[in-house]
Amino acid sequence: MSGLFPGLRQDHLAELIRGQELPLAALDPIHIELILELLQHAYEGIKSDYPCAVSAGDEKHLNSLMVDRLNHLVGDDPLASLVVRAVSRGTETKNYDASRFEMRPDIQISLTSRQHLFPLIVECKLIDTAKQKTIERYCLDGLARFTSGDYAWTNREALMLAYVRDGASTSSLLCPFLAAAMALSPPEYAVVSLPQKCALSLPDAARSDHGRYFSYAHGAQSGKPPGNIAVWHLWVN
């Protein structure tokens, strides 16, 4: 459906962002950290219950298990249910100018503070360099979706989840890779700030900030840049 003519694309954008000022207000970092803790808890439960899936399953298999476990956790936790409405996988969305339809983020977290049309997006990648699950793929096929306007273009934040199988960490692998990207001119992946540890209760969580390579294509914000996006990285090992 990428061949929609401009007028029809504008119709789709108009209906999606009806009444909204973009980008949406930033989420409270405390809420982000609560969601990171949910993701960590879900992964630990899956690792305990389904060790073969964690050691050998592909991303889609793990993501499906994560979504189901997350929904159970939210249903069982009164605090989490104040922030998270529901979690879904592979729900269709469109990019910033509606030139690309049928895009499917890995995990979408619907929040009680927002309409469900504007979920928190989680992109998930395996990290296992010996099996070609590299940091380059993590960034090119994951992180770049946020800087290009494919995903989370209405939002000021997004999440990356890495299923690590080779002992790597954000400090040992992600930080040096993004430091090299930041040194380029212009910076690759529009790196504004390098990953800094966050959510201190978690083994490996960090936040980096990135510019975005697009401008809004409709409404009062048409032609205006969206500003930076904060990307929160959770690496589970």
Q: What is the pLDDT along the chain (237 residues), one digit of tens a residue?
A: 445 566 678 888 989 999 899 999 999 999 999 999 999 999 999 999 999 999 999 999 999 999 999 999 999 999 999 999 999 998 889 999 999 888 899 999 999 999 999 999 999 999 999 999 999 999 999 999 999 999 999 999 999 999 999 999 999 999 999 999 999 999 999 999 999 999 999 999 999 999 999 999 988 889 999 999 999 999 998
Picking from 178, 213, 212, 217, the residue whose alpha carbon sits closest to that of residue 195 is 178
What integer pLDDT is reported at residue 3 of this predicted model? Answer: 53
Q: What pLDDT sits at residue 173?
A: 98
pLDDT number for residue 73: 98
Give the pLDDT of residue 12.
Answer: 85
* Contact in structure between 139 and 125 (CB atoms under 8 Å): no
Distance separating alpha carbons of residues 81 and 17, to the nearest angstrom? 25
For residue 46, the model assigns a pLDDT of: 98
d(CA 191, CA 183): 9
pLDDT confidence of residue 34? 97
d(CA 218, CA 42): 38
Contacts of 119 (CB under 8 A, 6+ apart): 88, 91, 108, 109, 110, 111
What's the pLDDT score for residue 219? 81
Closest CA to 114 of 75, 85, 153: 85
Strand partners, 87: 109
User: What's the rounded Cα separation, in Å, for the pair 116 and 91?
Assistant: 11
Give the pLDDT of residue 8. 79
Give the number of other Cβ atoms within 10 Å of residue 49's Cβ: 11
- Distance (Å, whole) CA 230 – CA 123: 14
Greatest alpha-carbon pair distance for the chain in Å reads 51
Pairing of strands 191-197, 157-164: unpaired
| Alpha carbons 125 and 142: distance in angstroms, whole number | 7
Question: Of 180, 1, 218, whose CA–CA distance to 96 is shortest?
Answer: 218
Distance CA 234, CA 32 (A): 11
State residue 91's pLDDT score. Answer: 86
Q: How far is CA 43 from the centre of its chain?
A: 16
